[in-house]
Structure 1
Amino acid sequence: MPGQDDPAASCGAEQRAAASGINPQTARSMHWRRLMGLAICLGGAAVLLSAIFRMLPLDDPRMRGALTGGAMAALATALGTLPVLLSHQFSQRTYDTLLGFGAGVMLAASSFSLIIPALASARLQGASAWGAGGIVGAGIMAGALFLMLVDRLVPHEHFVKGLEGRQARALKRVWLFVLAIGLHNLPEGLAIGVAFAGTDPVAALALATGISIQDVPEGMVVALALRGVGYGRWRSAGIGMLSGLVEPVAAVLGVAVISLSASLLPWGLAAAAGAMLYVISHEIIPESHREGHETFATGGLMVGFVVMMLLDTALS
């Protein structure tokens, strides 16, 4: 079992260590070293990101907006992990409902905050109705194919299917989870950056807010998944918080790429939508239906879709 980090779990770890011939004092020392290592990782990541962000052209409002939106999403992910510190477990039905809610928010964000603005951007650049549809359709497919390629080549762990990718069995399970979480957060961060690179900061803010809302239950789901495979409360929450740091980095990358040429904007918006649609269909919906709670998961999806639609409409 992975290292535990709450008192009861630590006591259990000591008992198992004693049963296996390991000195309980040594087991306790290893437990605290793990906690210190996690704290050092969190602090180091914060220092590194701070140094990187100081190098960015923050006088550019697009870059500043992307960084702010990505930071909002990262903080929301961290906030979502906190309930794991206060409770030992949540019901599977709650878990699946929250997954469905996140899928609904992402689905609405793809439609109203990415695909529709992509079509409008393509038309403004002189494309015909058919041409704009072709550009956006190709961008959606490109985004989905890119994430499919990453999905196949990068070693990670699906919640449903288990191990995939090259040399996946050689990696520790915790890092497989981190990589899987990164695949979820990458398109969201890119979508925020691409949106802020556009000409409608209000729509970009709506997208960033919607993604942040769905990142709260997503952060909790991530921490719960780690708890479910045996990781302690503090470690599960810490890894969940670290996973959110992908989003501000991806947001900055997204706005940097689109800033190279305005003609890339409809392609970037559409590709971000395609990547998000791939995650919804390939990861979130199958997982939310795995334990027989399809009705609750579908209800969560509908509520999430409506919440994001209302949010986008109100802010626009």
Structure 2
Amino acid sequence: MEGLLLGSVLSALSTGFGAIPILFFKKLTHRWRDLLLAFTAGVMVSASMFGLIPQALDVSDTLVVSIGVMMGVTVLSLMEKLIPHIDLERQQQVMSEKAFLIVAALLLHNIPEGLSVGVSYAHVNSELGAAVAIGIGLQNMPEGLLVALFLSHQAMSRWKAFVIATLTGVVEIIAALIGYGMTRYVEGLVPYGLSFAAGAMMFVVYKELIPESHGDGNERVATFSFIFGLLAMIILMDIFNG
């Protein structure tokens, strides 16, 4: 439980850590944005394919894993339809009322991320939880920065934008505790939970992160960044499992 609390808190607070640059500058270049998104995509692919899915297969079979993955993809797909997707790069001139919408969207999108962390810590191989928490945390960093940048363009002070971006990560702690409790104490739910987390993460990667990192002419450097993210996560998982 201590590991779960530490991992979920650090993962959640990474949103605020990623928003720190807003205190010093207001503009993030396309190139750096694409590099961060691609690196995050690599981390999440590695965590899903070499961490979550293999662990789920160890305690179940391909049918269970397939059901879990499709559940994760379906839930994220439904959430995307219910929550308007706002291009932060293009919303600098919208009215300040939109700030509430983007913060609410981020809060809801953080729920499956927190569940992923909690489910991973509930597995017998608790080191998987630490690896997934790191992966989710890395994803949260550019997300926190982009949200803080958006809020700073809504007649909001940099410090207030930073604080709000940080607080959006708190929901992940609650979701992590719920995910941990459900899979820890409900027999047979662990492989579904692990597969669900993998499906949710892969949906984010292929639907959002990769397309967005390849849309501004930085495809080559973004590809290398993706590979570096994938390898970095493999190394981290090997360290935690070793």
Q: CA deviation at 1:314?
A: 1.3
For 2:174, the aligned partner's letter is: V
Pair 183,273 (structure 1): closer, same or farther in 2 beyond 3 Å: farther
Match of 1:288 among 213, 216, 224: 213
Q: For residue 210 of structure 1, what is the aligned residue in structure 2?
A: 135
Measured against aligned partners, the alpha-carbon deviations of 1:264-287 in whole angstroms (never above 9, x if no partner) come to: 110010011111111112222222
Q: For residue 236 of structure 1, what is the aligned residue in structure 2?
A: 161
State the percentage of identical aligned residues.
Answer: 38
Specify which structure has the bigger relative contact order, considering alpha-carbon pairs within 8 angstroms and separated by 6 or more residues. Answer: 2
Q: Which has the larger radius of gyration?
A: 1
**Equivalent residue pairs, number:** 238
Measured against aligned partners, the alpha-carbon deviations of 1:125-161 in whole angstroms (never above 9, x if no partner) come to: xxxxxxx1111011100111011112222x3333289
Match of 1:111 among 31, 49, 73: 49
Q: Does 1:275 align with 2:205?
A: no
Match of 1:76 among 2, 10, 14: 14
SS of residue matched to 1:295: helix
Q: Is the 8 A contact 1:135 1:267 kept in 2?
A: yes
Q: 1:228 & 1:290 partners in 2: Cα distance? A: 23
SS of residue matched to 2:124: coil
Stretch deviating more after TM superposition (283-292 or 266-275): 283-292
Q: For residue 144 of structure 1, what is the aligned residue in structure 2?
A: 73
Q: 2:81 & 2:118 partners in 1: Cα distance? A: 25
Q: 2:110 & 2:165 partners in 1: Cα distance? A: 11
Q: For residue 64 of structure 2, what is the aligned residue in structure 1?
A: 135
Q: CA deviation at 1:252?
A: 0.7
Q: Does 1:315 align with 2:208?
A: no
Q: 1:159 & 1:299 partners in 2: Cα distance? A: 24
Q: 2:214 & 2:63 partners in 1: Cα distance? A: 33
Q: For residue 257 of structure 1, what is the aligned residue in structure 2?
A: 182
Pair 279,158 (structure 1): closer, same or farther in 2 beyond 3 Å: farther
Q: For residue 157 of structure 1, what is the aligned residue in structure 2?
A: 85
Measured against aligned partners, the alpha-carbon deviations of 1:280-306 in whole angstroms (never above 9, x if no partner) come to: 122222222232222232222111111
Specify every segment of 5 or more residues in structure 1 that has no aligned partner in the other structure, as ranges.
Answer: 1-60, 123-131, 164-170
Q: What's the TM-score once normalised by structure 2's chain length?
A: 0.88
Specify every segment of 5 or more residues in structure 2 that has no aligned partner in the other structure, as ranges.
Answer: none
